[in-house]
Structure 1
Amino acid sequence: MTVKTQKVVLTETAETVLKRRYYIKDANGELVENWEKLARRVANAIAEPDRELPDFETLKDEFFQMIYHLDFLPNSPCLMNAGTDIGQLSACFVLPIEDTMEGIFAAIRNGALVHKTGGGTGYSFSRLRARNASVRSTQGVASGPLSFAAVFDAATETIKQGGKRRGANMGVLRVDHPDIMDFITAKQDQTKFNNFNFSVAITDAFMEALQAEKDYELIDPSNKKAVGSMNARYVFDTIVDLAWHNGEPGVLFIDAANKANPTPQLGEFEATNPCGEQWLLPFESCNLGSINLARFVKNGQIDYSRIEAITRIAVRFLDNVIDCNRYPIPEIEAMTMQTRKIGLGIMGMHDMLIQLGIPYGSEAGRMCAAEVMAFIRKIAEEKSIELAVTKGAFPAYNPEHNHYPARRNAALTSIQPTGTVSMIADCASGCEPYFSVVMVKHVMDGDRLLMVNRWFEKVAREENFYSDDLMARVADKGTVVGLPEIPAQWQEVFKTAQDITPADHIQMQAILQNNGVDSSISKTINLPNSATKDEVRLSYLMGYKLGCKGLTVYRDGSRDGQVLNTKSASDAQSGAQTATVGVSGQVVKQNLPDVMSAKRYRLKDKDQNNIYIIVCFDDNEKPMEVFAKFPYDNRIDLKDKSTMWTTLCRLVSLALRYDIPMEEIIKQLDRSAGHMLDLPSQMGKLLKSFMAGTQNGFSGTCPDCNGQLVYEEGCETCRSCGYSKCS
């Protein structure tokens, strides 16, 4: 029986994202879809494998209703490609790299085919021989995993996923590989490997050596023999140091993952997808989808009956995706059909807790989240067992190896990034807390538009503490904490990602991992800019102890710049001073010392050309001089742009040295927002960050719309337009 469809009104941000990336366009680039047509396109395509079944028409309507009403949304490739000529519907792939030239370049080719159709790839470079190891076939020496990773990175750079998604990769190297130190430090230069997330596969043996303050063995991947040893503490401290500086490498606890491998007879896990939530065997793929928990609170209670109903429909939907998918290469199809893994996850978890009045970082918040996730997992398995009765268990199921009931899918749940998908649903991403409850969007002529979280606005109006002035102060402060107009109860409930302690982030990830998540979880452990390396170290150790299968930490503002010079003791004698008024009444230009501290920022213009901005600042962290460096200085077609930037930097530097109020400089720079020459507005945002003391710089600037980027779920994401490096 078809249910009458109640019209859904999407947010302006959702429509922007859909128009840019999801709605089908005709040959002239004109939109031919809206949200209802997209939902019907996807539902009809995914129901097709069951056309001969008696419930086919009902199934189509059930699929449509849950997508259209935002109760459940599949991953982006499914929304984009279902019912189209592309037809590739999975988000996650892991491709093997064999230790031969043929194997390496076959993996590059296979990765290119995956990226072309909208998927993300994980690679383990652990099978490749170490740098300078002998190569018998050529009597030469190997160049090592990192040199080939650079080739993979360059190949990805040339392919934009399906014309809609950036190429995204996860690069993994085992901690016992002889080249591990080169890998750990590879992204210290932030201009390299920009199409990769790097993670170290940490073994239990390494962690035991770390705890015992001992060395551990390095293993030659070609013969599995020990070829040396390293001090575990030194290696771990280096990982911590680099993660503190820019968030990479992450860590993957590979032995914990393999202990939970549902099909060990088929092989071991080596790598994950780009955001770390899907451990997959070589050539496996997985299609993902998320239940929007924001939609399942009724009268202050969790509506478990609706969650159960949607979980059952979602499992059947994701299982059908496997059958109607068009796989990039035959090997992926064969392996995926063997295990039939699905990744049913959640989004809007913070929305659910807010509606229940429960703080995210509280014990009550963790217990509530774990209870819901365990319930979803229980119902998902019941449905998978039911499907196994009618359609057959996954072909690799073997009671001798698989000590669980015969079911349709080898794995059922994970918690994945939902960056743009959660924007469509107007909810928090995955299991992450909101990054902010009031965001600033810069529009034409330097004006500010405040984007207030719907739950925060609702509570503020109901509790009579809403005002435009308060919303502006929340936006500028970046938190509700410490504002006396906001009742203490709601300060706790509306704490955002950086208000929540690292320990509370990790405990939330761990309790979800251990209560209903088969694979893994994509989540960022947010640290304040002031966090120490010891706090990063303790985060990793805590995550391992609590049973997480991987961990990503991000210290606020750490990915934006790189210190070029350290301050010298001679600065005190350099004559540096604040600009003053001279005896003639004229403002005196500040003299600058010979040595100043500086940070370098890499950004892109609208044509995706790299530009490097170097900002020099005084002892009080006040910007005093700005330079621009262009890798394309010799390109005649870009000479005018280079000249424009050089001139702009000179004028801004002059204004800074004459102590022109920074608000006035920023106001002028902001007026270029949205125009061809949009980079001045980005410089304005950098100066604002120095004024606010955050020094987040260009890491917070979206290359598509100049909006604010946030770092969550292992991705840089723009909550204004949907830009993301990996979703």
Structure 2
Amino acid sequence: MFSKNAVTVLERRYLKKDQDGKPIETPDDLLHRVAQAIAAGDREFDPDADVKASEDVFYDMMAGLRFMPNSPTLMNAGRELGQLSACFVLPVADSMEDIFDAVKNAALIHKSGGGTGFSFARLRGAGASVNSTGGVASGPVSFMKVFNAATEAVKQGGTRRGANMGILRIDHPDIMDFIQCKKDTTEITNFNISVGITEEFMKAVNEKREYSLVDPHTKQEVKKLYAPDVYALIVKMAWTNGEPGIVFLDRINRDNPVPQLGEVESTNPCGEQPLLPYESCNLGSINLNALMVKRGGEYEIDYDLFRQTIRDAVHFLDNVITVNNYPLDEIRDMTLSTRKIGLGLMGFADILYKLKIPYHSSRAIELAEHIMKFLRDNAREMSLELAKQRGTFPAYDGSIFKGEGLLQRNATVTTIAPTGTISIICNSSSGIEPVFGLSYIRNVMDNDELLEVHPYFEEVMKQRGLYSKELMSKIASEGTIAHMEEIPQDIRDIFVTAHDIDPEAHVRMQAAFQKYTDNAVSKTVNFPREATQEDVRKVYDLAYKLGLKGVTIYRDGSRDAQVLNIGKVNKKEDDTASAAACEAVGSAVAPRDRPEVTQGITQKVKIGCGNLYITVNYDENGICEVFTNLGRAGGCPSQSEATSRLISTALRSGMDVESIVEQLRGIRCHSTLRKGGDVKVLSCPDAIGRVLQTVAKMQNTKIAPLMQADGEQPDDTKCPECGKPLDFEGGCNICRSCGYSKCG
């Protein structure tokens, strides 16, 4: 049923554990727990309902890996916490009391396993007068930092860091500061940010004219900006490090099914779920790969099984709304009034391989539209049947469905979400994304590494007599087979990966799914490292033209550290340095002398056997030495000293700091584990690597607190659990090495 890696992920994050952190249920127990808890919702509408029959259907659907709900449902269904929703939007009103109420409410949601979206557009701009105090406002960006710090302090349900979306309207007075607020990637690390684009702004861009900035408090114009310049800045920052994304607010509100309840201001952290203030949504995804059957030697989709899975999944998700334990009364009331669900897909790239359809082909676009229309139509049909049995959603009378004479149980039924961890559980490709790598290295135990190959690619290569571990290792290092002449052309044409696909093809695929999606589509448009700002602009223009509700881009290598550990796709600019390093291996390299005077910092880090004090010093040539000292609690000082000496020697011999960090991060020691699974750092070497990495970033800029309150490095390019590079897809950070996902 589950792969070994899926079992590892389930044991690490989802299974019930005792006080020592050991699982006390099996993966099969988990599925029964979830199925039983969700099926119990049937009794709310029929005291004589055959709950056991529903439980069996729900269990079989999950055990067959055909459907999986969002992570909070897997974690919390049938348990005391009982909070089952993944995404929430909270309002942020323009008063100190309301702002800190929102901070508190967000902390409660993060603690329960959910992510939060905020619009900061109601807050007056920095420098605006505050009548109640006689002072001036500090502006949205300053308060985002407060939310960010609160998020960092809360561990989500014992499993995930809190995730946030911050949105600011394009006509807010502080929009220029907001667009650049993540220029320093160590700032506001617990937020994805997006600019809320209006139709008026896009019209001003196209007409090459100014547009108005409006004070949200007085509703008066305060300034005009030249729209093309603002648009160019958004493009520049996205090209620089992937943020901000953009969401088309007017377009989202055009499709708001319950306009009488208010305007949609924000989305969930990955952008695919627009929600009203205080609204939540529960998500789930159907695994297309589990619906494939082989007939006459060729694969095809079993549409009968697809239809039945859709119906069962809508039933499941509607029950989730009923049995959910909501973190706030306001959220319960708003969610029950609309009963939104978001049924989506995963495994799309897998089935394209089996159907022999290249991801970037017109055939793939046609299939995407066909599959999504089939999903939406059958989901709405099931929602209609539930409405006849259980009643329409309470806000139905003012909804667009009332005007059209259509009964519906749920205000929305479809969403394409990033599937992160649940795609690992289902052994499928993530969401509608292309496969990122056909072969890659996965961390399995401590520092042990395992070569993993896409299962169907491995099957085809073996059938054709082409499989070898050496070739798979080469593919892992190259990241693509497009240029490998030892692999037949027909295989290369079909087994394309993310970096083989033109950015325009990414956008057109997103648009194909958006056409039949009630909410929105989470997808990352991947760019090669050498892409220009003009390339990014063309994608933004195309996204607007094709009717997308938002778009997120990522240019390879545009953050401080490389996001995915797949060879030459990422190395273009490093070839010269690598060659020089290789030449140096052939001759003896003596470390340079230690300078008489250095400058640096000392950071105290909590480890399992006490406090470790790490000193990192540098001179005009860069970081040159590391010292460590253990507190009175003991530990292994000789090993720490030996590690420090070797690091210092390597640094003064010219070894790259990032290479040293890569070797240190992720090393584990059992003594760092604390009761309840609270891990500050994984080991002394891991702690040294974290501090080294931070000093390398901050050198020649400023000395600031090196670690967050819990000891974690504010670096969204490395997995906070195993230290391996993160994969950025679907608007979310995912670790293919250990299964960590920021978004669930």
Q: TM-score if structure 1 supplies the norm length? A: 0.85
2: distance between equivalents of 1:173 and 1:419?
26
Tell me the CA shift for residue 701 of structure 1: 3.8
Aligned partners of 2:130, 2:233: CA distance in 1, in Å? 30
Q: Aligned partners of 1:710 and 1:544: how far apart in 2?
A: 26
Q: Shift of residue 555 of structure 1?
A: 0.9
The residue that corresponds to 1:50 in the other structure is: 42
Matches of 1:324 and 1:719, distance apart in 2: 32
Aligned pairs (5 A) from 1:246-645:
246-299=241-294, 300-398=299-397, 401-402=400-401, 403-404=403-404, 405-441=406-442, 448-514=449-515, 516-560=516-560, 587=588, 626=623
Question: For residue 4 of structure 1, what is the aligned residue in structure 2?
Answer: none
Shift of 1:349: 0.8
RMSD: 3.6
- Aligned 8 A contact 2:591 2:649 in 1: no
Partner of 1:655: 653
The 3 A distance-change label for structure 1 pair 408 and 303 is same
CA distance in 2, matches of 1:288, 1:613: 45
After superposition, what is the alpha-carbon deviation per residue over 1:519-543, rounded to whole angstroms, capped at 9, x for unaligned?
Answer: 0111111111111111111111111
Q: Where does 1:152-167 land on structure 2 (aligned, <5 Å)?
A: 152-167=147-162
**1:171 aligns to what SS in structure 2?**
strand
The amino acid of 2:539's aligned partner reads S
Structure 2 counterpart of 1:705: 722
Q: Deviations over 1:39-94 (max 9, x none)?
A: 11001100112132443221111011101111100000000000000000000100
Superposed displacement of residue 654, structure 1: 3.2
What is the aligned partner in structure 2 of residue 142 from structure 1?
137
Contact preservation (8 Å) 2:171, 2:212: yes
Matches within 5 A, 1:681-720: 701-720=718-737
Aligned amino acid, residue 462 of structure 1: Q
1: distance between equivalents of 2:231 and 2:107? 33
Q: Does the 8 A contact of 2:311 with 2:378 survive in 1?
A: yes
Unpaired stretches in structure 2, ≥5 consecutive residues: 563-579, 596-602, 670-682, 694-714
- The answer for unaligned runs of 5 or more in structure 1 is 1-7, 563-576, 595-601, 618-623, 687-697
Choose from 214, 221, 224 the match for 1:219.
214
SS in 1 for 2:286: strand
**CA distance in 2: counterparts of 1:365 and 1:636, whole angstroms:** 63
Distance apart, 1:16 and its partner CA:
0.8
CA distance in 2, matches of 1:221, 1:14: 48
The 5-angstrom pairing of residues 96-175 of structure 1 reads: 96-175=91-170
Contact 1:129 1:145 survives alignment (8 Å): yes
Q: Quick check: 2:626–2:645 contact (8 Å CA) kept in 1?
A: no
Query: Are residues 1:38 and 2:30 paired?
Result: yes
Q: What displacement does 1:211 show?
A: 1.0
Alpha-carbon displacement from aligned partner over 1:9-46 (angstroms, at most 9, x marks no partner): x1111011000000111334332211211111001100
**Cα separation, partners in 2 of 1:333 and 1:629, compared to 1, 3 Å:** farther
Corresponding residue number in structure 1 for 2:673: none
Change (3 A) 1:580 1:391: closer
Q: Aligned letter for 2:353? A: I
| Identical-pair percentage | 47
Distance 1:294 1:547, change over 3 A: same
Aligned residues: 670
The one-character-per-residue Cα deviations of 1:631-651 (angstroms, maximum 9, x if unpaired) are x99999999899777645422
**Alignment-derived partner of residue 81 in structure 2:** 86
What is the rounded CA distance, in whole Å, between the counterparts of 1:605 and 1:709 in structure 2? 25
Query: CA, structure 1 residues 481+129, in 2 after alignment: closer, same or farther (shift >3 Å)?
Result: same
Q: Is the 8 Å Cα contact of residues 338 and 395 (structure 1) preserved in structure 2?
A: yes
User: Is the partner of 1:481 in helix, strand or coil?
Assistant: coil
Q: Secondary structure at the match of 2:653?
A: helix
Q: In the superposition, relative to structure 1, how do residues 613 and 56 fare at CA in structure 2: closer, same or farther (>3 Å)? A: farther
> How much does 1:702 deviate?
2.4
Distance in 1 (alpha carbons) for counterparts of 2:634 and 2:201: 50
Counterparts in 2 of 1:535 and 1:238: CA distance versus 1, 3 Å:
same
Q: Secondary structure at the match of 1:711?
A: strand
Q: Distance in 1 between matches of 2:224 and 2:252?
A: 24
The yes-or-no answer on 1:725 pairing with 2:726 is no
> What's the secondary structure of 1:396's corresponding residue?
helix
Mean CA deviation greater in 392-401 or 97-106: 392-401
Aligned to 1:571: none
Q: Secondary structure, in 3 states, of the residue corresponding to 2:84?
A: coil
Q: Distance in 1 between matches of 2:479 and 2:716?
A: 16
Cα separation, partners in 2 of 1:11 and 1:103, compared to 1, 3 Å: same
Give 2:53's aligned amino acid: T
- The alpha carbon displacement at 1:587 in A equals 4.6
- 1:509 and 1:724 map into 2 onto residues whose CA distance is 22
Alpha carbons 1:340, 1:410 under 8 Å: kept: yes
Q: What is the CA–CA distance in structure 2 between the aligned matches of 1:279 and 1:64, rounded to whole Å?
A: 30
235, 240, 257: which is aligned to 1:240? Answer: 235
TM-score by length of 2: 0.83
Aligned residue in 2 for 1:5: none
In structure 2, distance between residues paired with 1:491 and 1:196: 38
Inter-partner Cα distance in structure 2 for 1:637 and 1:548 = 57
Asked if residue 206 in structure 1 is aligned to residue 182 in structure 2, the reply is: no
Q: Does the 8 Å contact 1:446/1:667 carry over to 2?
A: no
Cα pair distance change 1:143/1:37, threshold 3 Å: same
Q: CA deviation at 1:388?
A: 0.6
Bigger mean CA offset, 712-721 vs 213-222: 712-721
Q: Secondary structure at the match of 2:344?
A: strand
Report the residue type matching 1:73 in the other structure.
M
Distance apart, 1:256 and its partner CA: 1.0
Does structure 2 retain, via aligned residues, the 8 Å contact 1:626–1:649?
no
Change (3 A) 1:69 1:614: farther
Asked if structure 2 preserves the Cα contact closer than 8 Å seen for 1:672 and 1:681, the reply is no
Q: Please, which of 12, 31, 49 is the counterpart of residue 4 of structure 2?
A: 12
Deviation at 1:192, TM superposition (A): 1.1
Task: Give SS of 1:398's match.
Answer: helix
- The farther-off stretch of 406-415 and 489-498 is 489-498
**CA distance, structure 2, for counterparts of residue 178 and residue 644 of structure 1:** 55
AA partner of residue 224 (structure 1): K
- For 1:275 and 1:139, the matched residues in 2 are separated by 38
Task: Pick the aligned partner of 1:29 from 14, 18, 21.
Answer: 21
Is contact 2:340-2:411 (8 Å) kept? Answer: yes
Name the counterpart of 1:599.
Answer: none
